[in-house]
Amino acid sequence: MLIGFQGSPEEIWTSCAQWWRDHGLQSFADALGEPAPITLSGGESCFVFPPVSMQLEGMPQLVELANYDQPCRIQSEMLSASTDRPNRPYALVLSHGIPEWTRGLTSAGLRTALLEHRVLGLSVPEYLSLQRRAFEVFEDHRFDDYTGDPAGWTWLPASTAGPLWGMGYYNSLKGQLEVSACKAGSKNPRKGAHICRIVGHP
């Protein structure tokens, strides 16, 4: 099973719009626009997002998607972090799992690695949405479980606050999802990054 949706562009857009509606975000569903051409490779799936300005305005609702046994704990810097995404609808093509080549790197090292592989990491709004979708698909927190094997502890490099980078994980001991602002020099062999690419109309 994969986190995102598969099928024709029309099927993917329709499925994503319904998902947003099912989670009380009708405005997101209405803002997805027309389907864009998409080609998925093996192990890839897709999730469609509204313009980034709408995502940031809807952060309170997105944070609600991350409430489990305890409310989501999100560092204040990440609520208003700069988000490197287009201000138009776009499709996020997702690869399955966290690649090993993303683990154990500082933010500078990860930036270089992502450029070399021609892929992107997630933003905070995307992470909050996708972790909920993953929980619904798998009925567990394997997507971002801090104590998982392999760990789901992930950089969120598309969201930055000055020198700080976003970082997210599910703390199974607390039953709580946490989003932090992480120092650029931080690294850990267990921390990596979910990767993606963007597809959409110019």
State the chain's mean pLDDT as an integer: 93
Residue 4 placed within a domain: no
Residue 91 placed within a domain: yes
Asked if residue 197 has pLDDT above 70, the reply is yes
| Span 43-53, average pLDDT | 94
SS3 content of the chain, % helix, strand, coil (to 5): 30, 25, 45
Q: How far apart are CA 2 and CA 12, in angstroms?
A: 13
DSSP 118-157: T-EE--HHHHHHHHHHHHHHHSS-TTTBTTSSS---EEEE
The one-letter amino acid at 26: Q
pLDDT band at 202; cut points 50, 70, 90: low
- If one counts the domains in the chain, the total is 1
Closest by Cα among 117, 199, 100, 119 to 157? 119
Residue 3 placed within a domain: no
Residue 177 placed within a domain: yes
Q: What is the pLDDT of residue 96?
A: 86
**Radius of gyration over every alpha carbon of the chain, rounded to an integer in angstroms:** 16
Asked if residue 54 has pLDDT above 90, the reply is yes
Residue 169 placed within a domain: yes
Residue 69 placed within a domain: yes
Residue 59 placed within a domain: yes
Q: What is the model's pTM? A: 0.95
Contact 68, 28 (CB under 8 A): no
Q: How far apart are CA 7 and CA 22, in angstroms?
A: 20
Residue 135 placed within a domain: yes
CB atoms within 10 A of CB 23: 18
Burial class of residue 43, CB neighbours in 10 A (0-12, 13-18, 19+): exposed
Residue whose pair of structure tokens reads 């995307």 in the numeric block: 126
Contact 132, 107 (CB under 8 A): no
Q: How far apart are CA 86 and CA 160, in angstroms?
A: 15
Contact 98, 148 (CB under 8 A): no
Asked if residue 150 has pLDDT above 80, the reply is yes
Residue 142 Cα distances to 44, 45, 138, 190, 202, angstroms: 17, 17, 8, 14, 34
Q: What is the pLDDT of residue 145?
A: 92
- Contacts of 165 by beta carbon, 8 Å cutoff, 6+ apart: 107, 155, 156, 157, 159, 181, 182, 184
Residue 38's domain comprises 9-199
